[in-house]
Structure 1
């Protein structure tokens, strides 16, 4: 199995500014009055091992090869955006809520994100409302133990910790993608978007009613640029960068609705701080200006089967018989046709930390000051 060269020129060129920004944020975060606590809700873009822990699903090397040197259940060759954001606060990487073997007491929060999750239908593992129910159980149990003489209580998150925590939400991509995969027309997919937005709004309001005040909401990326979609959809309606126009148009409409919802909630929930992050703009820039980031084939997967233009075959996917992986993931945006390489994730995280894509412009460590 080919392994990535961490000493490649392009990798170091791209990661150097990321390292500088992480160091800056580590210095700032060092002055936090309270230890950072983060609760994350989402799908495969931020799942740090929940699918493997929850369903026993097998995710094997080369997943995880470039940083962890083993598979950790992340659908990337290394770290995800959320991992880099945690590192910017000098806190441990978030452990999956369902993983009982990581030895964590979840002092810095928990990750409820699971691969494949969507907002609808409800009450289907692991829809957003199921993740919320898991969080409510987690909080109830933690506070129950904290009120006893249990020796573990000093290691648990306190009521203050829950109130000052950051609540991250990164979901919605699968609602749109799954609707298209079921053969729904563009107009029918668009009609479903308000229901998806409503579920996310409801989740934020529940967390607010539970005492949460600080929220970090990621919009969805350009679905039409994913090698998986490009290889499976028989459409000639591409934009100027070779992405599926209808898929990206639906993603942008979803993002507009999500942005509007965040604006509404800032007025409705008087004490809430809600930051909306334009992940779409960041990721599309990687595609449109791939040469600036030393990416060779922005629409081709590093790990897959079939070769150019997309290297994706639904019957021979990354990690499953017959696949091939590129020598250097640092030269690719897409890792497996759906998810990003560690290098691409590092650039996304760097731009998130820059505050240029956040509304209102807010440093990521804003929540940890107490």
Structure 2
């Protein structure tokens, strides 16, 4: 009897612990801050602070204010985190200047170095009290924050723009992913625990790629996108997903969510009417050509006519009906639709809604 009773007590205790665990895992996360790493898809002013005004789309969530760009010294508020992203950033450092290639010198390793520097310096500033205390994150916020990554697109296009074949670009993808994993491990070593990682979008559907790298019609899919370039993006994404699986093994205290942004974006382009759009691959704001894109006269661009500057890079009449904004980035309406598709976790691995991204993936019983 005692043996059976003991087993019953153990079983009951285990059920209680399991119930408590499940209840805890269902509690929404309360991220006090976000630290973002990326390129122009999430830049809130980093490149502008370095090289002059850059146009960028914006989106918000989690009921936190827009993140101040780490590089912007004017009017910054880092209470709720910081944004290290800059337009044109890559994971792997480029061997060209921004004037030569258009890609940012602030690669992911540089962004991490900025974060590494920001963490102690923010606390030194905060200890001064007054306004400094009000503009800096608390020390404990770094371990409770959400660390977001949206980068990799430029690593692929940088090779293509150097006239590399997709095979040649694929050859260096493993090195790019190794460098990405190293940065995630570094953030983890600094106390980061919650990671929200976007894969890269369908680069073969972007006007700046379609216009700059003409391709035979036979290699276009039904949506008008370049099939080989989208296959390249999916190749990168498969590698990224495998890297995330490995990171989960190496970083046992981390909760890492892999987000399939590619599927969300391609859905808008391949099924625009379903999402309320009319123009899937032409730029809303641009000038000329099949895709309303001109790398020399972009959105907001002007030409000289009879001694006067004339605006020719104009926005379309109703941007809410267009997927692409300026040939590179999505419109605000399209970004909102992408967010709506990923926020509930249906396109994530594990299928984790954003508000539950602080919970680690549970190991399945063998």
- Scaled to the shorter chain, the TM-score interval is 0.7 to 0.9
Equivalent-residue separation in structure 1 for 2:128 and 2:271 (angstroms): 57
More displaced 10-residue stretch of structure 1: 335-344 or 287-296: 287-296
State which of 288, 298, 301 in structure 2 corresponds to 1:317.
Answer: 298
Q: Is the 8 A contact 2:31 2:146 kept in 1?
A: no
1:266-305 pair list within 5 angstroms = 266-305=248-287
**Aligned partner of residue 169 in structure 1, secondary structure:** strand
Q: Cα gap change, 1:325/1:34 in structure 2, threshold over 3 Å: closer, same or farther?
A: closer
- The CA deviation at 1:212 is 0.7
- The CA deviation at 1:245 is 1.2
**Aligned partner of residue 325 in structure 1, secondary structure:** coil
Equivalent-residue separation in structure 2 for 1:279 and 1:33 (angstroms): 22
Give 2:79's aligned residue: 107
Give 1:22's aligned residue: none
Equivalent-residue separation in structure 2 for 1:50 and 1:228 (angstroms): 22
Provide the aligned length of Structure 1 versus Structure 2: 313
Give 1:95's aligned residue: 68
State which of 316, 331, 340 in structure 2 corresponds to 1:341.
Answer: 331
Q: Is the 8 A contact 1:165 1:367 kept in 2?
A: no
Give 1:54's aligned residue: 50
**Structure (1 or 2) with the larger CA radius of gyration:** 2
Give 2:154's aligned residue: 174
Unmatched runs of 5 consecutive residues or more in structure 1: 1-30, 60-72
1:1-370 pair list within 5 angstroms = 36-55=32-51, 57-59=52-54, 73=55, 75-76=56-57, 80=58, 83-85=59-61, 89-104=62-77, 106-121=78-93, 125-146=105-126, 148=127, 150-151=129-130, 152-153=132-133, 155-236=135-216, 237-306=219-288, 309-321=290-302, 322-366=312-356
Unmatched runs of 5 consecutive residues or more in structure 2: 1-26, 96-103, 303-311, 360-366
More displaced 10-residue stretch of structure 1: 292-301 or 160-169: 292-301
Give 1:19's aligned residue: none
Alpha-carbon displacement from aligned partner over 1:97-117 (angstroms, at most 9, x marks no partner): 11121242x010000000000
Q: Is the 8 A contact 1:38 1:109 kept in 2?
A: yes
Q: Cα gap change, 1:110/1:338 in structure 2, threshold over 3 Å: closer, same or farther?
A: same
Moved over 6 A (4+): none
Q: Cα gap change, 1:155/1:265 in structure 2, threshold over 3 Å: closer, same or farther?
A: same
Equivalent-residue separation in structure 2 for 1:255 and 1:304 (angstroms): 29
Q: Is the 8 A contact 1:262 1:276 kept in 2?
A: yes
Q: Is the 8 A contact 2:257 2:357 kept in 1?
A: no
**Aligned partner of residue 298 in structure 1, secondary structure:** strand
Alpha-carbon displacement from aligned partner over 1:226-254 (angstroms, at most 9, x marks no partner): 01111121211112221011111110000
Equivalent-residue separation in structure 2 for 1:352 and 1:115 (angstroms): 22
Higher relative contact order (CA 8 A, sep 6+): 1
